[in-house]
Amino acid sequence: MDAATAIELRGLTRRYGYRTALDDLTLTVPAGATLVVFGPNGAGKSTLLRILATLLRPHAGTASILGEALPDRAWAVRGRIGLLTHDPLLYGDLSARENLRFHARLHGVPLGRVDELLAEVKLERRADEPVHTYSRGMLQRAAACRAVLHDPEILLLDEPRANLDPGAIALLEPLVGRESGRTRVVTSHDPAGGLAEADLVLGLREGKTAFLAPVAEVDAARVAELYAA
Ligand SMILES: Nc1ncnc2c1ncn2[C@@H]1O[C@H](COP(=O)(O)OP(=O)(O)OP(=O)(O)O)[C@@H](O)[C@H]1O
């Protein structure tokens, strides 16, 4: 794997009991590229993200991130990955500022970055209130700050636009969008929106690769087919 390759998966397989959630997945994501993953509920998208986030071990095949093989070298890449999922991974009783300061200390990030990020996503006014009092969109903005606090090279994003209004989507673009310049794996159920930000497109169905192609070779109809019964 050369330096221009950020993620390399070969025959990646993960089971839960007798059920195969991800079956023999092989792909390469170049550094700085965006892989968008489509698939109906239960297709294996979250399982893939959890393996890439080093939260779950593969049962077969190999996974390499930034040149480090998982799971053995997971510790070496964990701090270079940012994860944004439906779970904001924030302490509800702490404010956004307290949560972010906690994570900043964990990662050795200067505390000034917390205030910069809160301003960037326009949360300063509510930054000292407990996050359990936030709306879903506000929570997602705080969670996005947490995901990029340590300036990760790789971003794993599970439907990152869920709960966001158009203004908030625009605010988060520089942090988690294409323009962040990071290597990204993004799950989506929105064919047009997902294709608009993809370099590579993966369609999963019941854990198997239905298609894997550069975005120029995939249209919205092909994505929609995935969701047809
Ligand atoms: N902890 C678990 N225990 C047992 N089965 C699981 C577990 N997590 C996921 N699965 C199963 O693995 C398969 C893939 O699930 P996964 O969550 O990866 O799908 P998904 O594509 O992310 O779905 P969604 O769009 O609904 O979020 C499903 O059949 C699911 O029921």
- pLDDT (tens digit, 9 = 90+) per residue, 73-120? 999 999 999 999 988 899 999 999 999 999 999 999 999 999 999 999
Sorted by sequence, the CB contacts under 8 Å of residue 97 that are 6+ apart come out as 114, 115, 118, 127, 128
CA of 41 to the centre of ligand 1 (A): 8
Per-residue pLDDT averaged across 194-218, rounded?
97
Per-residue pLDDT averaged across 46-72, rounded?
96
Position 1 pLDDT exceeds 90:
no
- Pocket mutation for ligand 1, best pick of 12, 13, 14, 16 (most atoms within 8 Å of C-beta): 16
Report yes or no on 110 lying in a domain.
Answer: no
Report yes or no on 48 lying in a domain.
Answer: yes
Q: What is the per-residue pLDDT for 9?
A: 98
Q: Which two tokens stand for residue 81?
A: 């990955």
Alpha helices in 8-134 (DSSP H): 45-52, 74-77, 96-107, 112-120
| Distance in angstroms (rounded) separating the CA atoms of residues 151 and 113 | 10
Sorted by sequence, the CB contacts under 8 Å of residue 199 that are 6+ apart come out as 30, 33, 34, 35, 214, 215
Report yes or no on 16 lying in a domain.
Answer: yes
Confidence category of residue 2, pLDDT binned at 50, 70, 90: low
- Complete edge-to-edge strand list for the sheet that includes strand 81-84: 81-84, 154-158, 183-188, 34-38, 200-205, 208-214
Report yes or no on 10 lying in a domain.
Answer: yes
Report yes or no on 146 lying in a domain.
Answer: no
Give me the chain's average pLDDT, please. Answer: 95
The SS3 call for residue 196 is: helix
Cα–Cα–Cα angle for 186, 212, 75, nearest 5°?
50
Instruction: Give the whole-number percent of the chain exceeding pLDDT 70.
Output: 98
184-216: b or e for each residue (b if 16 or more CB lie within 10 Å)? bbbbbbebeebbebbbbbbbbbebebbbbeebe
| Distance in angstroms (rounded) separating the CA atoms of residues 160 and 182 | 15
β partners of residue 89? none
Position 20 pLDDT exceeds 80:
yes
Contact criterion met (CB below 8 Å) for 198 and 192: no
Cα–Cα–Cα angle for 140, 114, 123, nearest 5°?
45
* Structural domain boundaries, residue 82: 5-90+153-227
- Pocket mutation for ligand 1, best pick of 13, 25, 47, 83 (most atoms within 8 Å of C-beta): 47
Report yes or no on 107 lying in a domain.
Answer: no
CA of 145 to the centre of ligand 1 (A): 26
Report yes or no on 188 lying in a domain.
Answer: yes
Q: What is the per-residue pLDDT for 219?
A: 93
| Tens digit of each residue's pLDDT (9 = 90 or more) over 45-56 | 999 999 999 999
| Tens digit of each residue's pLDDT (9 = 90 or more) over 153-204 | 999 999 998 878 899 899 999 999 999 999 999 999 999 999 999 999 999 9
Q: What is the per-residue pLDDT for 151?
A: 96
Omega prior to 214 cis, within 30 of 0: no
CA of 205 to the centre of ligand 1 (A): 12
Q: Which two tokens stand for residue 220?
A: 């919205």
Per-residue pLDDT averaged across 129-142, rounded?
94
Position 229 pLDDT exceeds 80:
no
Number of folded domains in the chain? 1
Per-residue pLDDT averaged across 29-57, rounded?
96
Query: What radius of gyration, in Å, describes the C-alpha atoms of the chain?
Result: 17
ipTM of the complex: 0.97
Residue 61's identity, in one-letter code, is G
Confidence category of residue 3, pLDDT binned at 50, 70, 90: low
Pocket-forming residues, ligand 1, beta carbon under 6 Å: 16, 19, 21, 39, 41-47
Contact criterion met (CB below 8 Å) for 128 and 97: yes
Q: For position 61, which CATH number holds?
A: 3.40.50.300
Q: What is the per-residue pLDDT for 41?
A: 93
Report yes or no on 24 lying in a domain.
Answer: yes
Q: What is the per-residue pLDDT for 8?
A: 98
